[in-house]
Amino acid sequence: MAAFDATQPLTMAAGGILSPFTIAYQTYGELNAAKSNAILICHALTGDQHVANAHPLTGKPGWWSALVGPGRPFDTEKYFIVCSNVIGGCMGSTGPASYNPATGEAYALDLPMVTIADMVRAQAMLIDRLGIDALFCVAGGSMGGMQVLNWAALYPERVFSAMPIATAPRHSSQNIAFHEVGRQAIMADPDWRGGRYLEQGVRPAKGLAVARMAAHITYLSEEALQRKFGRKLQDRAGPTFSFDADFQVENYLRRQGSTFVDRFDANSYLYVTRACDYFDLAQDYGGSLARAFKGSRTRFCVVAFNSDWLYTPAESRAIVHALNAGGASVSFVEIDTDKGHDAFLLNEPDFIATTRGFLHGAAKARGLIEKEAAKS
């Protein structure tokens, strides 16, 4: 946990100052003497800092255990991995459930509105605190990919390589629409209490569960849903002709919703979804996405999945075109899979091979491989 006092405020893009504030983070591996092997992993919408260790609330493996660990693409025997919980989150970083020194209660909706850029600037302060001038790589998928793009735009001299995965340079109207359904489900729950539910000892669990159910549909492709569930019934010979969860897919979504509320704060869900909605990197650079990356020396690998309809391959190609126009070094990989948006979180062989190959090439260019060979 990194705590920043009143001498180190975070100026928010939407106005206001956040001070004091904390950033919860996990590290894996060791920082080399030159401090040149650090990788920042940015989590997605409802992720957290527990990228490769058992989650303290659920006991489940880290959300990117398939890629982070000894011998894996993000090799903890070669690299120093940092993953932080974003500002606005609910796993130790300052968010709406955190203590507000001005009132003595939780911030709730008094927390200033958070943007992706705010998350990145807070991460940069953490990286400073860790004594790291430049990152070997910044990587992340979905909302994490937005952070990667913002890192490359805000701090090009601090990012040697970047992997924006299954992401977009801005939120589409469809993305915003799905998020609004989730927010309205939360705020319509009688236990939301205008965001002050913690003070009153309740939680808008039903509304948050519905929000999660609606969002989870967007993380899967139609093919994946059909392959996993089809129209199969749940533990019954025939339909009950009721509103019970007759179908396996209904039961699956209900389970996703009920388990989610045990680890996530409803107001945090409002804040992080809104941060994604406001994300429009081109708008921050006079309407030109290419201008955001002009003259960048960062090496990029942009990854998309052909069955991802939440952040489509076309949106990844728009990033690639902008990087090319800005003169950046970029490779693009579109992976053939029926797993949809969530493919970046799963054991997808082509994606794992792509990540391993990109990092290996970047490590050679950075001189990390030769240095390690010299030590042995």
Average pLDDT, the chain: 95
In this structure, what are the phi and psi dihedrals at residue 274, rounded to the nearest 5 degrees? -70, -35
pLDDT tens across 251-308, in order?
999 999 999 999 999 999 999 999 999 999 999 999 999 999 999 999 999 999 999 9
Q: What is the average pLDDT across 168-197?
A: 97
Range scoring the smallest mean pLDDT among 5-14, 119-128, 363-372 = 363-372
pLDDT at 376: 40
236 or 119: which carries more pLDDT confidence?
Answer: 119
pLDDT level of residue 373 (50, 70, 90 thresholds):
very low
Residue 372 above 60 pLDDT? Answer: no
| pLDDT in the model for residue 354 | 98
pTM above 0.85?
yes
Compute the average pLDDT of residues 172-200. Answer: 97
pLDDT interval class at 375 (50, 70, 90): very low
Tracing tokens 């693409």 back to the chain, one arrives at 73
Q: What is the pLDDT of residue 374?
A: 44
pLDDT value of residue 78: 96
Q: What is the DSSP string of 234-268?
A: SSSSS--SSSS--BHHHHHHHHHHHHHTTT--HHH
Quote the CA–CA distance of 85 and 202 in Å, as a whole number.
24
In the predicted structure, residue 367 carries a pLDDT above the cut 60: yes
Give the pLDDT score at 230: 92
Other CB atoms within a 10 A radius of the CB of residue 286 amount to: 8
Would you please indicate which residues are annotated as catalytic (active-site) residues?
142, 308, 341
Query: If you average pLDDT over residues 138-166, what whole number do you get?
Result: 98
Q: Report phi then psi at 77, rounded to 5.
A: -90, -10
Query: How many Å from the N-terminal Cα to the C-terminal Cα in the chain?
Result: 34
Percent of all residues in the chain with a pLDDT value above 90, rounded to a whole number: 93
Confidence of residue 370 (pLDDT cuts 50, 70, 90): low
76-132 pLDDT, tens digit each: 999 999 999 999 999 999 999 999 999 999 999 999 999 999 999 999 999 999 999
Q: Which residue has the higher pLDDT, 326 or 163?
A: 163
* Run of H or E including 289: helix 289-292
Sign (positive/negative) of CA torsion 128, 16, 268, 6?
Answer: positive
SS3 26: strand
Q: Is the pLDDT of residue 250 over 80?
A: yes
> Which helix (DSSP H) or strand (DSSP E) does residue 313 occupy?
helix 313-325
Distance separating alpha carbons of residues 18 and 32, to the nearest angstrom: 33
Residue 237 confidence (pLDDT): 86
- Residue 139, SS3 per DSSP: strand
- Asked whether the predicted pLDDT for residue 371 surpasses 60, the reply is no
